[in-house]
Amino acid sequence: MKIISSRDSKAVDRLLRPVRGSDRATRATVAAIVSGVRRRGDTALLRYARTFDGLTEPLEVSPEEIEEGAARVPPRVRAAIASAARNIRKVARRQLPRGWKVATQPGVVVEQRVTPLDRVGCYVPGGRYPLPSSLLMTAIPARVAGVSEVIVACPRPAPVVMAAARAAGVTRLFRVGGAHAIAALAYGTKLVPRVDKIVGPGNRYVAAAKALVAEDCAIDFYAGPTEIVIVADKGPPEWIAADLIAQAEHDPDARAIFITTSGALASRVSRAVDARMPGSGPARAALARHGGIIVVKDGAEAVALANRAAPEHLVCEDQRVADGVRCAGAIFIGRYSAQVAGDYAIGSNHVLPTSGAARFRGGLHTSDFVRISTVQRVSRKGLESLAPTVTTLARQEGLEAHALSIEVRLR
């Protein structure tokens, strides 16, 4: 694994630059697919599903099939799903926004009302291996928020995904993936209902489709290739190497970076990565293209570079670094807070912002599945006390009718 000095500004820039998973050709392909599903509905959807997903069975997985599939999953795997689901549910419940009322002055009351979305679409990738954890992380917060219909799209829902769907309380499950699944969820077809919001990770076609439909259907955020930044000056190099490789194995475009003040530790971690690296596969490609070790002069520079990277995952050895890094999707503190545990079972959500988006938001949250509305109640006395402020500001903005709408009530 390559080692660079923080003084090599060009090399640091290349390493910290967000990896974009979409390009012009991808966006053009996705635009044609989305347009086709929007205009031709199920005719286009089924054609794309057969072509890209290899669909040979009915598009929707029946409740009976879900039960039968879940029953085929080994008991120890079902137990692991149940354990992860419990922890995710505990965290999601604490995240749920609450309603409140406040009197801003006598006769003027403002209320916050929290209501769940009606229908949500959860995308679960179906690549080389099934991903039940992605289903749990998206569907459970939606159910905790009170969403009555949770629709899951997965191109190849293996039995373990069906077991996760059962544990999470999924309403309907469809055998469909890619940009055509996103289009169906965003605009609806006769077979697939239209949803209020689409959440969940996916490949570059899914990400591009989510970005495209965002004008018409809410999404969680643009999800690009996964990222990890580790900041440490000590610790077992084999553990640090293992974390870098683990995250890199997700995607050949994954970004895995180690930042340290210790040149000796940098060398040991580099050797450990090379020794543990699989002979081929996405981890090797990711670390060769987007991985690296940066040796910095002090802890302040390490924190500054971590903030600049705004990573999806930040792993650090002590609280001081965690307190200094403001821009990170999820932070793991201490040697035993393995980032991989967060992928599955800690209870925090693993659907996180990438490509620098941690500068302005965190990961998927129960609040992503609710509407927050304000309700106002004003008495005559309250309006009388507000009137001078409202009419003065309205006329300052040249909005005479605004001022008159107050005055006509008080004549």
pLDDT tens-digit profile of 140-178? 999 999 999 999 999 999 999 999 999 999 999 999 999
Instruction: Please indicate, yes or no, whether residues 341 and 200 belong to a single structural domain of this protein.
Output: no
Residue 53 pLDDT > 90: yes
Q: Of the given ranges (19-33, 183-197, 286-300), which has the lowest mean pLDDT?
A: 19-33
The residue annotated as part of the active site, out of 312, 317, 350, 365, is 312
Instruction: Please indicate, yes or no, whether residues 50 and 184 belong to a single structural domain of this protein.
Output: yes
Q: What is the mean pLDDT of residues 243-249?
A: 94
Predicted confidence band of residue 21 (pLDDT cuts 50, 70, 90): low
Instruction: Please indicate, yes or no, whether residues 401 and 291 belong to a single structural domain of this protein.
Output: no
* CATH code, domain with 191: 3.40.50.1980
Instruction: Please indicate, yes or no, whether residues 195 and 319 belong to a single structural domain of this protein.
Output: no
Instruction: Please indicate, yes or no, whether residues 273 and 390 belong to a single structural domain of this protein.
Output: no
Percent of the chain at pLDDT > 70 equals 99
Q: What is the mean pLDDT of residues 275-303?
A: 92
Per-residue buried b or exposed e for 172-204, using 16+ beta carbons within 10 Å of the residue's own CB? bbbbbbbbbbbbbbbbbbeebbebbbbbbbbbb
Q: Tell me: the pLDDT tens digits for 109-138?
A: 999 999 999 999 999 998 778 999 999 999
Predicted confidence band of residue 247 (pLDDT cuts 50, 70, 90): very high
Domain extent, residue 287, equals 3-20+225-347
* DSSP state letters, 389-408: HHHHHHHHTT-HHHHHHHHH
Instruction: Please indicate, yes or no, whether residues 135 and 181 belong to a single structural domain of this protein.
Output: yes
**Inside any domain, residue 104:** no
**Inside any domain, residue 337:** yes
Instruction: Please indicate, yes or no, whether residues 186 and 274 belong to a single structural domain of this protein.
Output: no
Instruction: Please indicate, yes or no, whether residues 31 and 84 belong to a single structural domain of this protein.
Output: yes
Q: Position of tokens 């307190």? A: 323
In terms of Cα–Cα distance, which of 323, 305, 342 is closest to 230?
305
Predicted confidence band of residue 20 (pLDDT cuts 50, 70, 90): low
**Inside any domain, residue 374:** no
Across the beta sheet with 291-295, the strand order is 3-5, 291-295, 255-260, 227-231, 313-316, 330-333
Q: What is the mean pLDDT of the chain?
A: 95
Q: How far apart are CA 296 and CA 270, in angstroms?
A: 16
| Whether this model's pTM surpasses 0.85 | yes
Predicted confidence band of residue 30 (pLDDT cuts 50, 70, 90): very high
Q: What is the mean pLDDT of residues 252-279?
A: 94
Contact 368, 383 (CB under 8 A): no
pLDDT of residue 224: 80
Which of 192, 220, 248 delimits the end of a domain? 220
Predicted confidence band of residue 222 (pLDDT cuts 50, 70, 90): confident
**Inside any domain, residue 197:** yes
- Read off the amino acid at residue 360: F
Q: How far apart are CA 15 and CA 355, in angstroms?
A: 12
Query: What beta strand segments (E) does 244-388 contain?
Result: 255-260, 291-295, 313-316, 330-333, 370-378
Per-residue buried b or exposed e for 374-393, using 16+ beta carbons within 10 Å of the residue's own CB? eeeebeeebeeebeeeebee
**Inside any domain, residue 336:** yes
Which of 220, 246, 269 delimits the end of a domain? 220
**Domains contained in the chain, number:** 3
**Inside any domain, residue 372:** no
Q: Of the given ranges (97-101, 250-254, 366-370), which has the lowest mean pLDDT?
A: 250-254
**Inside any domain, residue 363:** no
Instruction: Please indicate, yes or no, whether residues 33 and 120 belong to a single structural domain of this protein.
Output: yes
Q: How far apart are CA 1 and CA 274, in angstroms?
A: 6
Which of 193, 220, 247 delimits the end of a domain? 220
CB-side exposure of 276: number of CA atoms within 13 Å? Answer: 21
Let me know if 180 is a catalytic residue.
no
**Inside any domain, residue 184:** yes
Helix axes 24-40, 178-187, angle to 10 degrees: 50
pLDDT of residue 223: 78
Predicted confidence band of residue 279 (pLDDT cuts 50, 70, 90): confident
Q: What is the mean pLDDT of residues 82-101?
A: 98
Instruction: Please indicate, yes or no, whether residues 160 and 277 belong to a single structural domain of this protein.
Output: no
Instruction: Please indicate, yes or no, whether residues 179 and 259 belong to a single structural domain of this protein.
Output: no
Let me know if 312 is a catalytic residue.
yes
The residue annotated as part of the active site, out of 180, 250, 290, 313, is 313
Instruction: Please indicate, yes or no, whether residues 76 and 186 belong to a single structural domain of this protein.
Output: yes
Residue 22 pLDDT > 80: no
pLDDT of residue 18: 77
pLDDT of residue 273: 96
Q: What is the mean pLDDT of residues 97-106?
A: 97
